[in-house]
């Protein structure tokens, strides 16, 4: 696309709500797990595209706390897909110098997933390209509650006073400590809500919504979102 902004004006951090796998599958007479399998292929393409575009950070909403309410078979299938994704995509991450991180209540993931996740994070820790952040067993309200508890523990230990606690200090207690806030939030499949995703961090993110379901989301759509982002004036409340 020739209407992309200069690379220096690309979003530093893109966050994506990957919605529509199940509906994509059902519209084709397939199972919801087939939709998640197709969605995993899209993840590979978009992660690769972001690495090639020199995007700094990409956060993918992979599994929410609320998703645990889905049928057991679907949740189990998602966990096994995640394990296979981490194993199969590790060579691609290394080739593209991608560093993997994860946010969420990771301790509650199945042990086999946690082992695979910890292994992939450790294996890519020294990579210096795109930082890929998987939001797993994640809910933003839970993150803020966990952050508040961490701050209270610091206060009880005498390491934090009331006067010390401001927005910058509180952000250090969130799962995303050390990660810049998203500049661009993309949601696929046309829903107009943020679904308990990065509520603190997207305060000034630009939103880009597409009716295209996640399995049909392409590199070209990603470039379209970046081009649209480049046209926006980000005033952060100023003039």
Pick the catalytic residue from 2, 3, 19, 108: 19
Q: What b/e string do you get for 125-150 counting C-beta neighbours within 10 Å, with b at 16 or more?
A: eebebbbbbbbbbbbbebbbebbeeb
Concerning whether 19 is annotated as a catalytic residue, the answer is yes
Token match 């991450």: residue? 93
Closest CA to 231 of 4, 46, 36: 4
Q: Determine the angle formed by the axes of helices 72-95 and 111-123, rounding to 10 degrees.
A: 10
Give dist(CA 40, CA 151) in Å, integer. Answer: 36
Q: Are the C-beta atoms of residues 204 and 185 closer than 8 Å to each other? A: no
Pick the catalytic residue from 2, 3, 21, 67: 67
Residues annotated as catalytic are 19, 67
């Amino acid at each position: 696309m020739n209407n992309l902004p200069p690379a220096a004006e690309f979003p530093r951090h893109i966050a994506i709500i990957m919605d529509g796998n199940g509906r994509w599958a059902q519209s084709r007479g397939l199972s919801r797990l087939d939709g998640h399998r197709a969605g995993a292929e899209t993840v590979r393409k978009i992660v690769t595209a972001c690495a090639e575009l020199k995007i700094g950070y990409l956060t993918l909403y992979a599994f929410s706390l609320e998703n645990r309410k889905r049928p057991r078979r679907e949740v189990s299938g998602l966990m096994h897909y995640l394990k296979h994704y981490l194993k199969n995509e590790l060579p691609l991450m290394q080739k593209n110098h991608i560093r993997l991180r994860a946010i969420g209540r990771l301790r509650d993931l199945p042990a086999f997933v946690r082992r695979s996740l910890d292994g992939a994070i450790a294996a890519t820790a020294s990579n210096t390209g795109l930082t890929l952040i998987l939001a797993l067993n994640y809910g933003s309200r839970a993150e803020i509650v966990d952050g508040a508890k961490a701050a209270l523990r610091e206060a009880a230990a005498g390491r934090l006073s009331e006067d010390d606690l401001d927005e910058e200090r509180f952000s250090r207690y969130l799962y995303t400590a050390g990660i810049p806030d998203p500049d661009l939030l993309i949601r696929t499949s046309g829903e107009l809500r943020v679904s308990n995703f990065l509520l603190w961090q997207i305060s000034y993110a630009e939103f880009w919504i597409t009716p295209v379901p996640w399995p049909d989301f392409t590199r070209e759509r990603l470039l379209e979102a970046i081009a649209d982002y480049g046209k926006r004036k980000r005033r952060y409340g100023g003039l």
